Amino acid sequence: MQKIRHESVAPTRTQRLASGAEIDAHRHDDHQIVYAGQGTIAVTTDAGSWVAPPTRALWIPAGTVHHHQAHGELDLHLVGMPAAVNPLGRDTPAVLAVSPLLRELIVVYTRTPEDDSPPHLRLHAVLLDQLKVAPEQPLHLPVPTVPLLRQLHDILCADPADNRSLGELGRQVGASARTLSRHLRNDLGLTYPQWRTQIRLHHALVLLADNAPVTAVAHRCGWSSASTFISVFRRTFGHTPGAAPAP
């Protein structure tokens, strides 16, 4: 059984992680903002996984058991805040859009975490204000609770380019397309195309963080062409795969 580390205080700091490095499962009594100024950070909980490139940050509520993994050379920024301070007003993880202002606030604030001077406290107050208005992004890849869907999840994650229909996959796991569609709707609130697209986008972010060419990413994640992939990526993230802002 995996031992889960408990930290009473969520750290505020910067940290460099090599691609593929991990931070083992742990929890803390404080909330935390997790931001990768460079690379892509993946956070996994019992409820699913969240992936955030430099245009996104992750909200980890107090008490949430989570595990980090770096994709690409990671410039990690962590902002801890007491459980009583909840600018988002939510107790489940979320992905937030990071504006240029919010990005700079996080980077500057985490450089000197021990600074308790009035200017630094004012910086923290502005950071909280910006978190309150940061839009949430639908980048959560939920873990299915239905065994049949878990089998499909494993199949699609092993090969995101698998283009079989739900009916064809259903024959492999022993269920009809209608049954699987009902489970997807009831368990995850998603259609099969929506779910498969989320799985593919998560894998695409990981591949891009490791500097895979856009055309190769499109092919490996199942899109019919690079242009189709770029269109879906832009619609989801607000920029093309090769146009993420510099850290």
Residues 11-51 have pLDDT tens digits of: 899 999 998 898 899 999 999 999 999 888 889 888 888 88
CA 54 – CA 162 distance, rounded (Å): 28
The two three-digit tokens of residue 191, written as one number: 């259609």
Residue 247 confidence (pLDDT) = 39
The two three-digit tokens of residue 240, written as one number: 């093309």
On the question of pLDDT at 216 being above 80, the answer is yes
On the question of pLDDT at 98 being above 60, the answer is yes
The Cα-based distances of 170 to 24, 152, 181 in angstroms read 35, 8, 10
Contact 42, 71 (CB under 8 A): yes
pLDDT in tens, 56-65: 899 999 999 9
Residue 245 confidence (pLDDT) = 45
Pair type for strands 136-137 and 94-97: antiparallel
Average pLDDT of the chain, as a whole number: 89
CATH number corresponding to 5-140: 2.60.120.810
**Closest by alpha carbon to 132, among 159, 188, 94?**
94
Pair type for strands 22-28 and 5-7: parallel
- Other CB atoms within a 10 A radius of the CB of residue 183 amount to 18
More confident residue, 247 or 115: 115
Is the whole model's pTM more than 0.85, yes or no? no
In the chain, residues under CATH classification 1.10.10.60 are 145-237
Pair type for strands 56-60 and 94-97: antiparallel
On the question of pLDDT at 94 being above 80, the answer is yes
The two three-digit tokens of residue 23, written as one number: 């931070």
Averaged pLDDT, 153-165: 93
Answer CATH for 145-237 from 1.10.10.60, 3.40.140.10, 3.20.10.10, 1.10.10.10? 1.10.10.60
In the chain, residues under CATH classification 2.60.120.810 are 5-140
On the question of pLDDT at 243 being above 70, the answer is no
